[in-house]
Amino acid sequence: MNDTPSTSHGAEASPLGKPVAYRDTYAPELLFPIPRQLKRDEIGLRADALPFVGEDLWNAYEVSWLNPRGKPVVALARFRVPADTPYLIESKSLKLYLNAFNQSRLADAETVRKTITADLSAAAGGAVAVELMLLAQRPQRHIGYPQGVCIDELDIAIDTYQPAPELLSAGGAAVSETLYSHLLKSNCLVTGQPDWGMVVVRYTGPAIDREGLLRYVVSFREHNEFHEQCVERVFCDILARCRPESLAVWARYTRRGGLDINPFRATRGAGSADEFDEVRQ
């Protein structure tokens, strides 16, 4: 596997915001990687000193190909992209790539899985884990909620709709708790389309002011940034302003184009994201 994807990163090569003719046969060149460091520079992150570990969990609901006799096979897919890979994969390009399998004849599901694994790993610049779940095998989805406190019912006035880390504060004795909100909304960096999500904050440290946290979550409402970048910004702002001993932040975004993206970032030893689907997904 090459460390640097062959795909061009220039704006002229991106499918973002442009009409695109759909391909229906295998076309790995459709994948469009974007360097993570471009936005990490904005929040002072160095690739060799990331304050978090984590992954981007993608769920794909529109995966299909043809078996050797031309009969369609349909599946769900799950991709896990490590947060320390140098590239994220633009979601429209991933949708186009997956749709390009629609009229491709492939030997079996394992061949498809290995093909997608190789292509996504090359695009991300690191090992991507791929799981396929055939609909014929009756896979199940688990809809749930975090084991914590939803802060959405706080009766507060809000007038800030661009990220405002100064709204965050914490103090007092250390606590261990999970806070979450369904009110996260940001916009695609290029198209401006809304991205809706639930954000979860699990931490140990001085108690985070809940009203300030809710105002901060809502402050992303007119902000243009990719899912992964929003979660990293939230993580870094809470880490800097509230100084928890341990911190995990993740979001579960509503699907768009047959895909949902669920970034997770945490200090080492802070555990993993809860494994369930948000009801809007």
Q: Mean pLDDT throughout 28-45?
A: 97
How much is the pLDDT for 8?
40
Separation CA 256–CA 82 (nearest Å): 21
Give the residue, 218 or 7, on which the prediction is more confident.
218
How much is the pLDDT for 23?
85
How much is the pLDDT for 4?
38
How much is the pLDDT for 6?
39
pTM above 0.85, yes or no: yes
Give 41's contacts (C-beta < 8 A, 6+ positions apart): none
Give 86's contacts (C-beta < 8 A, 6+ positions apart): 3, 35, 36, 37, 47, 124, 125, 126
How much is the pLDDT for 7?
39
For the chain, give the percent of residues with pLDDT over 90.
89
Catalytic residue, candidates 56, 119, 195, 260? 195
Helix (H, G, I), strand (E, B) or coil at 105: strand
b/e map 2-18, b = 16+ CB within 10 Å: eeebebeeeeeebebee
Residue 220 tokens, joined: 């992303």
Q: Compute the Cα dihedral for 46, 11, 251, 237 and give only its sign.
A: positive
**Same fold? 11-137, 149-266:** yes
Task: Return the DSSP state at 269.
Answer: T
- Active-site residue, 242 included: no
* CATH classification number, 149-266, choose in 3.30.300.10, 1.10.150.120, 3.30.1130.10, 3.20.20.150: 3.30.1130.10
- Active-site residue, 195 included: yes
Separation CA 153–CA 135 (nearest Å): 38
Q: Mean pLDDT throughout 127-138?
A: 97
**Ranges of each domain in the chain:** 11-137, 149-266
Instruction: Tell the CATH topology of 11-137.
Output: GTP Cyclohydrolase I, domain 2 (3.30.1130)
Separation CA 128–CA 6 (nearest Å): 17
How much is the pLDDT for 10?
45
